[in-house]
Amino acid sequence: MRGAVLHAPGDVRVEDREDPRILLPTDAVIRLSATCVCGSDLWPYRGVEAVTGPSPMGHEYVGVVQEVGSEVRNVKPGQFVVGSFFASDNTCPICRAGYQSSCVHREPVGGLGAQAEYLRVPLADGTLVATPETPSDDLLPDLLAASDVLGTGWFGAVAAQVGPGRTVAVVGDGAVGLLAVLAAKRFGAERIIAVSRHESRQKLAIHYGATDIVTERGDEGVARIRDLTGGLGAHSVIEAVGTQESMMQAIRSTRPGGHVGYVGVAHGVELPGEELFFSHVHLHGGPAPVRRFLPELIDLIYKREIDPGKVFDLTLPLEQAAEAYRAMDERRAVKVLLTP
Amino acid sequence: MRGAVLHAPGDVRVEDREDPRILLPTDAVIRLSATCVCGSDLWPYRGVEAVTGPSPMGHEYVGVVQEVGSEVRNVKPGQFVVGSFFASDNTCPICRAGYQSSCVHREPVGGLGAQAEYLRVPLADGTLVATPETPSDDLLPDLLAASDVLGTGWFGAVAAQVGPGRTVAVVGDGAVGLLAVLAAKRFGAERIIAVSRHESRQKLAIHYGATDIVTERGDEGVARIRDLTGGLGAHSVIEAVGTQESMMQAIRSTRPGGHVGYVGVAHGVELPGEELFFSHVHLHGGPAPVRRFLPELIDLIYKREIDPGKVFDLTLPLEQAAEAYRAMDERRAVKVLLTP
């Protein structure tokens, strides 16, 4: 089959890879209907994360089950399924508490390479969620978004305890930040401040429910958010970048007793303990347990109550994965959908 | 009046200080019935925090109102009152959300020096809570504990979301850690693991409800707590020290999705963002909003349902404050009560 492989920073190639097959009785193999490039794929692409040898890329996927192992009970060949970036058994105490992305048996899907024609999914019963029926093509981008960026933005809003009457700020205008705006709106936030300096992203943020746009970053951004919140800071702040600057902007934009939900994969972040102590914020986040939210998200998508697929502003054939990475790296595209 | 003043690390003197008086119409002046030395007083005493000139010491106090300013409505001369280490208006949005120690008008009481005969308390209406009646002498240590260490341990348990069926670990065996054990027991924790290597403190922890004692610190302590919790870590961990080692022990002892409540004043702590991200813990803490809890704590003390005063294992006259600091610095005493 064909699949995208990162050979070195900036060097993504689509090449022949071995066809995935069932290795364990809990595996499934799916034929991908759509996949995409994640903001977190840009960390190794940019060389911020080390690249050690050729790495199959991609961890976002929707598709049709081709084959299942002998112990798989919950999904069967022919079903359309959505999964996420950690395979989980969905039965251990950590999964049952809603943290499937820290499942005691978790396996990262990233290493298996979902930017491809086929994908082996470990722990299929605990990882994949079948849709009610095979979706029409126009729902594919929405369902693919649920696989990661929607589930991650959603978790950010949950972690930041967004709710009715609350003022929410979202730091980061990538797909996750934009979908955190969507989630905050669904959760009844009264006011949603999006931090963005890109006009097309601002428009999408407003489409998803943002009531205010802040273009400043860092301490200036903090000052603007404080101005907008009576000097107190927001009740809830969602961090969707993962840098030192964005984390500190999120913490400093939150009022004492408020909640920071951070879902940008942290890179080189060091949190000053004393400032955090006196900030009085709640801090929660990490890799989103997307599996927790998938049944609800799929339901909302089928009812056409949410349209997360709008974050895909470019669609390319899988063979052009290299161009997809370039477009996202250069911020010409928010998120690129790849069709195998 | 007489009061304790820190002149330099290790140099505490009781000397004549000016009598406090009403400066603002929202002030009260109280005659102290009891005061004490806090673990956090040891930071400047040990030179870990800089000492810049002679500093009146102490921020824990109970006593009788002597005089109130013209705008004070909630307390009156003759009443016995308990206050805490931040004065608060108890009416601003932050106070109303339960974070009085981040009140927009907060004033630290520490700088006013409660290790003395009299104390000016700013924002008296929002800071002081009158007891139902003048307490008998045997309740004084309990009420004094409520002023800081009980309220702080209590907040640690609240921040760590301690509740029925939960396994709780407490890192730190000072007065705050011991009273966090008491709070965890009150909140219905199923299992309470106290980290302590001192026999007398272990005994008090067990008296307050600890079910297990771990003597190891750092990564060995983490391994022991994981052993005791099926390899997963505790649901709730209360951090009551404030060092890098204790914070990391707390975070690493918590299961994914679990809660760290940290109340040890952070000194030189830097939290690694990537580890925190993948730990999946909730982190909350800071200076305890003791005012939130005082009415409930005073009620429990008057009903003799809790005995937090047991943490005072040495009582000295105020004049011997220097010996009180020495005894705590050398860990000969858990906490020293001073009688003015």
Q: Domain residues of chain A, as ranges? A: 2-148+289-339, 152-285
Q: Would you call A247 and B104 a contact, using CB atoms and an 8 Å cutoff?
A: no
**B185: its two tokens:** 């027991």
Phi-psi region of B95 (alpha: psi -120 to 50; beta: other; left: phi over 0): alpha
Q: Does A277 contact B270 at a Cβ distance shorter than 8 Å?
A: no
Closest CB from A242, A256, A271 relative to B270: A271
Nearest by CB to B274, from A101, A269, A280: name it. A269
**Contact at CB, A98 and B257, closer than 8 angstroms:** yes
- Judged by CB atoms closer than 8 Å, whether chains meet at B99 and A256 is answered as yes
| Residue of A282, A286, A287 lying closest to B284 (CB–CB) | A282
Pairing of strands B167-171, B191-195: parallel
Give A276's contacts in chain B (Cβ within 8 Å).
266, 271, 283, 286
Segment A112-140, tens digit of pLDDT? 999 999 999 999 999 999 999 999 999 99
pLDDT at B328: 95
Instruction: Classify strands A234-239 and A167-171 as parallel, antiparallel or unpaired.
Output: parallel
Taking an 8 Å cut-off on Cβ atoms, the answer to whether B282 and A280 are in contact is no
Verify whether the Cβ–Cβ distance B257 to A102 is below 8 Å.
yes
Check: CB of residue B156 under 8 Å from CB of residue B182. Answer: no
Task: Write the pLDDT tens digit of every residue in A217-254.
Answer: 889 999 999 999 999 999 999 999 999 999 999 999 99
Which residues in A lie closer than 8 A to residue B102 (C-beta atoms)? 256-257, 278, 280
Residue A111 predicted with pLDDT over 90: no
Contacts of residue A231 in chain B, CB cutoff 8 Å?
104
A160 close to B (CB below 8 A): no
Q: Homologous superfamily of B153-285 in CATH?
A: NAD(P)-binding Rossmann-like Domain (3.40.50.720)
Q: Which residues contact B110 (CB under 8 A, 6 or more apart)?
A: B57, B58, B59, B85
Which residues make Cβ contacts (< 8 Å) with residue B123, sequence separation at least 6? B26, B87, B88, B89, B90, B103, B105, B107
Quick check: A255 contacting B, CB < 8 Å?
yes
Q: Residue A56, SS3?
A: strand
| pLDDT tens-place string over residues A143-179 | 999 999 999 999 999 999 999 999 999 999 999 999 9
The candidate with the shortest Cα–Cα distance to A337, out of A36, A128, A45, A48, is A36
Separation in Å, CA B56 to CA B5, B12, B44: 4, 9, 12
Distance separating alpha carbons of residues B241 and B43, to the nearest angstrom: 11
pLDDT at B327: 96
Closest residue in chain A to residue B284, using alpha carbons only: A282
pLDDT at A52 over 90: no
Domain B2-148+289-339: top CATH class: alpha beta
Amino acid at A23: L
Burial label, B302 (beta-carbon count in 10 A; 0-12, 13-18, 19+): middle
Give the model's confidence band at A67: pLDDT under 50 very low, under 70 low, under 90 confident, else very high: very high
Spatial distance between the Cα atoms of B326 and B198, rounded to a whole number of angstroms = 18
Cβ–Cβ < 8 Å for A5, A56: yes
What pLDDT shows up at residue B26? 98
Complex confidence, ipTM? 0.96
A113: which residues sit within 8 A by CB, 6+ positions away?
A: A3, A4, A5, A17, A55, A56, A57, A58, A119
Q: What is the rounded CA–CA span in Å between residue B261 and residue B284?
A: 5
From B270's Cα to the closest Cα of chain A, the distance in A is 5
pLDDT at A108 over 90: yes
Token readout for B296 is 């409930």
Q: Is residue A258 exposed (0-12), middle (13-18) or buried (19+ Cβ within 10 Å)?
A: buried
- Spatial distance between the Cα atoms of A25 and A70, rounded to a whole number of angstroms: 5
CATH architecture of A152-285: 3-Layer(aba) Sandwich (3.40)
**Per-residue confidence in pLDDT tens, chain B, 340 aa:** 999 999 999 999 999 999 999 999 999 999 999 999 998 899 999 998 888 889 999 999 999 999 999 999 999 999 999 999 999 999 999 999 999 999 999 999 988 999 999 999 999 999 999 999 999 999 999 999 999 999 999 999 999 999 999 999 999 999 999 999 999 999 999 999 999 999 999 999 999 999 999 999 889 999 999 999 999 999 999 999 999 999 999 999 999 999 999 999 999 999 999 999 999 999 999 999 999 999 999 999 999 999 999 999 999 999 999 999 999 999 999 999 999 9
Query: What percent of the residues of chain B are helix, what percent strand, and what percent coil, each to the nearest 5?
Result: 35, 25, 40
Q: What is the dihedral of CA A141, A147, A150, A155, to 10 degrees?
A: 170
- What is residue B111's predicted lDDT score, i.e. its pLDDT? 87
Interface contact A165, partner B, CB < 8 A: no
CA distances A200 to A60, A326, A332, A337, A338, Å, are 24, 18, 10, 18, 21
